[in-house]
Structure 1
């Protein structure tokens, strides 16, 4: 085991104290599917040293099929190495004693190179992509980011094969209904214990039947995103222990609320949160925090390719559903996809991005979101006046006068928006690399083609797609 990685000894202590027999190397592909390879504990030293070999095509499989998406640039030739990330989590699994799970990444080095494998992240590794963007923000602007996520999910009974739909929500409750919490309290208790009681800030019943939300606390950006994947693993596994299915799919039915993964972000510089005391300036140049948000708002249609990347994502983004359907920002306006949030004293302290769901690869989604914000600073963009009303309640003429537009309503529109947004497209390609962008877009195109093959009414199409994907997210 390499001695130049300080975290290795701590990881070994976790494995020994928990009597671990198997370690799951967790990763997430471009379709947002969580996957893992498992190594017996006697192989742990070799895996941290040299990884586990995988085909490059692993990252480019669409959610609906077990094959590499056409046009991704990968085939049967080419191997990467999956190994635990040196600064990622390693946790013993409370729901499966004897097993542990490790945040992992993809690495690639030339055969003749003798340096540690983990010094050579693969160009198309999503986790490495986020690390690259975070390093850029630190070196160029002195920024670090603290991030928190909201995890909305449905708890479902799995029905007999052939049932349509193949699931039934555990209840028919409404937002924050106390009886819904009572009924599911044993399940939620176990979920919180498995996620991390000290990192759970709140939980409640959400608006849809069988829908709940667990909110986790702010952490450094990479740590928070690692923790998000672990949170989803824990929620799904605990649900299964209770003979239920937890689904993070953004839309299970046109008649029920969708599930999002709202992201809260703070910009930190020199130990200060730049959003504290936020105000729109009138000077010759905008403050960096305003320009950062303005960049996100300006590029939001193209951003949707990475943050709401499934055809079903757009069934959730409807006016009047508090999901953020219009390209606006606001202060404590829950119909705005970009919301400046306040603390208990009414002072701004973070920004919420609502146009995100669990079909996104969270590393890539956050990476591209930050790139959009940094481009806003580079271009010295300014925010328009905040929207302080529900934009869906305005007359179309008034929305036009205010410059308020609908965000993309289909995946096709968001793909076209990314193609047309040369500023963001060039920045993302320049920072993350053309091969990653090519493979990611190929996965999205494959899913769009798959969804286009369904026939029937819009509601019937959603039901057919959800029936195939509900237990993959």
Structure 2
């Protein structure tokens, strides 16, 4: 019996032992929405081998409605297969113990082919895109990546009928305030238990009313991103059990801090974390970790199309908001979108990327981020001098002299920056395929058109968008 079949039979035996009745095939589309299809557990072996039919158009729907984005290349004709990814986790839901989640991928196999379905990932599968980039980085550079995510979210109650938006925050507290934590401790306790205590490193109240953050530890890049999807499901599921809504939308109000999804990344080579030796090298030969960061910094305006890809994302990225509004890097500078983090002894150990939120497809965002970093190595890019102050406090003339520029201030700019950045555009389309990039850009253009059609002041437009999207992310 093939080993893959034995593995699926072992999973099935565990699911039956745990009295699981239903399996949710969880995936994330190009709009960053988590979606699922559900089947009874007795179908596990068949579905794991042959998947469930799903229209290709599912991958190309914008967040604002169930429509296929114009120009995505999809319509009512065309079917892929949705199946549990071979290496993904399958977890019983603490908040609904008769259900389990299997992280899933998109597959496309010709009918005449009898080889295993999972040998044929569909070209528009974001999880397969990340897998491809990780394999490329390892084969060409010997790199493996370890990733940790910060999950910021806001806990909401239903608002009064006369409110402009259908929600209100559970408190009016401030950063790390103990009262906010005390009041929500039963909810947060359940969330940590549902996520898995060994994965959680810390949690605290954040700056906005009702806002909290849960930080999980570093894992291999694909495993960490799979876990991120499950953790978001757990946070939302537990919140609902407490008659609350957990929202990861990057901005819910113009007067409160936004929700980010900061990413911490380490590069492993031959078992060693090369960021532990980080120091800005000579101009002649930048070290690999420096050139990798320099590639990300150089391509950051175009990267934003994938990592902050919603019109609402740009309501969060503002100067003075600790979200990284300028194209700079720094050592432990939280106003830099790209910073080198240090351990308890002040030694560098990872890179943080702050220009990321939960409207991104995390697989695709990380794939493009790594591509940008690898291009930095290919081009021997060098980091400029680190910025050791809030760049917004510098005089405009000094910023110009130091080459410090604002990042994109809206989605239109980010999309244009990506298509204009020919080095990044060619690398991304060359590695991931033009069909995936075409569909992604179409989805985001659809969202931009929807947002720009809203009426009123910027704050009123944000309120309208938040009212429609707050419980979709």
Distance 1:206 1:7 in 2: 41
Match of 2:397 in 1: 397
Give deviations 1:80-133, integer Å, cap 9, x for gaps.
Answer: 000000000000111101110001000011100001101110000000000000
Match of 1:238 in 2: 238
> Cα RMSD (Å) of the superposition?
1.1
Give deviations 1:192-249, integer Å, cap 9, x for gaps.
Answer: 0001111000000000000000000000000000000001000000000000000000
SS of equivalent to 1:4: helix
Match of 2:436 in 1: 436
- Within 5 A, what are the aligned runs for 1:164-203? 164-203=164-203
Distance 1:56 1:434 in 2: 16
Distance 2:161 2:7 in 1: 46
Conserved 8 A contact 1:266-1:351: yes
- Within 5 A, what are the aligned runs for 1:378-393? 378-393=378-393
| 2:369 matches 1:375 | no
Report the alpha carbon displacement of residue 7 of structure 1 after superposing the two structures with TM: 3.5
Conserved 8 A contact 1:49-1:116: yes
Distance 1:407 1:255 in 2: 21
Change (3 A) 1:161 1:27: farther
- Within 5 A, what are the aligned runs for 1:4-153? 4-5=4-5, 7-153=7-153
| 2:223 matches 1:257 | no
Distance 1:87 1:160 in 2: 45
Conserved 8 A contact 1:145-1:221: yes
Conserved 8 A contact 2:8-2:45: no
Give deviations 1:22-60, integer Å, cap 9, x for gaps.
Answer: 000000000000000001012111101110000000011
Give deviations 1:159-185, integer Å, cap 9, x for gaps.
Answer: 356642100000000000000000000
Report the alpha carbon displacement of residue 8 of structure 1 after superposing the two structures with TM: 1.8
SS of equivalent to 1:63: coil
Give deviations 1:379-421, integer Å, cap 9, x for gaps.
Answer: 0000000000000111111100110000000000001100110
Match of 2:284 in 1: 284
- Structure 1: stretches of 5+ with no match in the other structure: none
Match of 1:226 in 2: 226
- Structure 2: stretches of 5+ with no match in the other structure: none
Paired residues in the alignment total: 473
What stretches of structure 1 move > 4 A for 4+ residues in a row? none
Distance 1:373 1:6 in 2: 38
Distance 1:388 1:7 in 2: 51
Report the alpha carbon displacement of residue 13 of structure 1 after superposing the two structures with TM: 3.4
Conserved 8 A contact 2:9-2:45: no
Report the alpha carbon displacement of residue 67 of structure 1 after superposing the two structures with TM: 1.3
Change (3 A) 1:379 1:5: farther
Distance 1:231 1:14 in 2: 21
Conserved 8 A contact 2:191-2:234: yes
Match of 2:350 in 1: 350
Report the alpha carbon displacement of residue 286 of structure 1 after superposing the two structures with TM: 1.1
Change (3 A) 1:59 1:160: farther
Distance 2:324 2:408 in 1: 11
Match of 1:266 in 2: 266
Report the alpha carbon displacement of residue 312 of structure 1 after superposing the two structures with TM: 0.4
Distance 2:429 2:136 in 1: 14
Change (3 A) 1:321 1:49: same
Distance 1:439 1:62 in 2: 10
Conserved 8 A contact 2:301-2:408: yes
How high is the TM-score relative to the length of structure 2? Answer: 0.99
Report the alpha carbon displacement of residue 284 of structure 1 after superposing the two structures with TM: 2.5
Change (3 A) 1:285 1:5: farther
Give deviations 1:285-340, integer Å, cap 9, x for gaps.
Answer: 21111000000000000000000000000000000000000000000000000010
Distance 1:7 1:282 in 2: 50
How high is the TM-score relative to the length of structure 1? Answer: 0.99
Distance 1:201 1:447 in 2: 35
Distance 2:180 2:370 in 1: 37
Distance 1:7 1:102 in 2: 14
Report the alpha carbon displacement of residue 2 of structure 1 after superposing the two structures with TM: 5.9
